[in-house]
Structure 1
């Protein structure tokens, strides 16, 4: 999937297409890197590309599950955990393992996105200190827009890290990844 998000029809299809395209962009940021490069932290941030891959996978799984199960509580996969960013920063796994985790998350998210049927369905807001106490629910639509926003934010961060590692930007990486897929 190239740099430009493919055209789609209807609000749900547009949201799904955008989320999946951004996830594809996240994966492209690590194209051609070694474990050492993917685990490096060459910017002021403590995040590496592997930690961003794993975090983005979890974001995709959990927010898509919320939208898919609304108005009920989501059923989350047992093999995807909700790690803190600090845990992911400290995670020593290599690029192949991080990509396996990421790809599994993308598969779960894709399945969840296929199950969303009502964008107006209320999604219960989980208890967390950063959510207002009086906020009881938001729409499935809001969850999917939040999902797209979070992924895009992390892809931008990944782009900066990748450019700092070897100077390769997203346009060049898309071309390289598409050429490799064609082989």
Structure 2
């Protein structure tokens, strides 16, 4: 997979490719970890890797649904589950394998939703939340996808710090390991 986002053509494909690449980067953070390690919070924060995976999966599912359907409160399938705040995601007891299965299911769903976006300029209502400016009436589907890219990139950084705190493995090494490459190879 590597660090470089795969080449894509056209605005919609570039946005979708970037969302999926950030999700893949977060997914690599648990590669080779035990359940105990993936649930640990080795930094000053209470975040753990399984919680970040669950949160990122829900972010992708929810925001992609809003972008595709231009609705305020996304109706994601029941097998994805209800939206959870970060604390609930971090506290969720699922194993690494169960978390990855949930994550992959959400990513597949989000990918389908993003592919179904017919018009990136289509307005979507602003979700009802106190942190969104009250004067905003809508934003475009393209804005929603760029918002998802930004949030996932932030969380990929969180995952990097947490993983490096657990065993010192960084993203470049993990990408190589996931791809079956020797991380110590000569360039």
TM category, shorter: over 0.9
Structure 2 length normalisation: TM-score? Answer: 0.92
Query: Deviation string for 1:65-101 (max 9, x for gaps)?
Result: 1111126864321222200111112212211111111
Tell me how far apart the structure 2 counterparts of residues 11 and 35 of structure 1 sit (CA, whole Å): 39
Q: Secondary structure at the match of 1:132?
A: coil
For residues 179 and 54 of structure 2, the distance between their equivalents in structure 1, rounded to whole angstroms, comes to 22
Runs of 4+ displaced beyond 4 Å: none
Comparing 139-148 and 66-75, the one that deviates more: 66-75
The answer to whether the Cα contact below 8 Å between 1:59 and 1:147 also exists between their aligned partners in 2 is: yes
Q: Is the 8 A contact 1:68 1:117 kept in 2?
A: yes
Matched, 1:172 2:173: yes
Give the whole-Å Cα distance in 1 for the aligned partners of 2:85 and 2:74. 19
1:66 maps to 66
Length-normalised TM-score, structure 1: 0.94
Aligned partners of 1:62 and 1:76 also within 8 Å? yes
In structure 2, the CA distance between the partners of 1:120 and 1:73, relative to structure 1 (3 Å rule), is farther
Secondary structure (helix, strand or coil) at the match of 2:57 reads helix
Matches for 1:1-183 after TM superposition, within 5 Å: 1-70=1-70, 74-80=74-80, 81-179=82-180
- Measured against aligned partners, the alpha-carbon deviations of 1:118-176 in whole angstroms (never above 9, x if no partner) come to 11000111211111222111100100000101111100100000001000001110110
SS in 2 for 1:63: helix
CA distance in structure 2 between the partners assigned to 1:86 and 1:63 by the alignment: 19
Q: Does the 8 Å contact 1:125/1:138 carry over to 2? A: yes
Q: Are residues 60 and 167 of structure 1, via their aligned partners in 2, closer, same or farther at CA, if it must alter by over 3 Å?
A: same
Which shows bigger deviation, 47-56 or 73-82? 73-82
What residue ranges of structure 1 are gaps of 5+ in the alignment? none
Secondary structure in 2 matching 1:179: coil
Structure 1 stretch 72-81 or stretch 24-33: which is displaced more? 72-81
Aligned residues: CA RMSD: 1.4
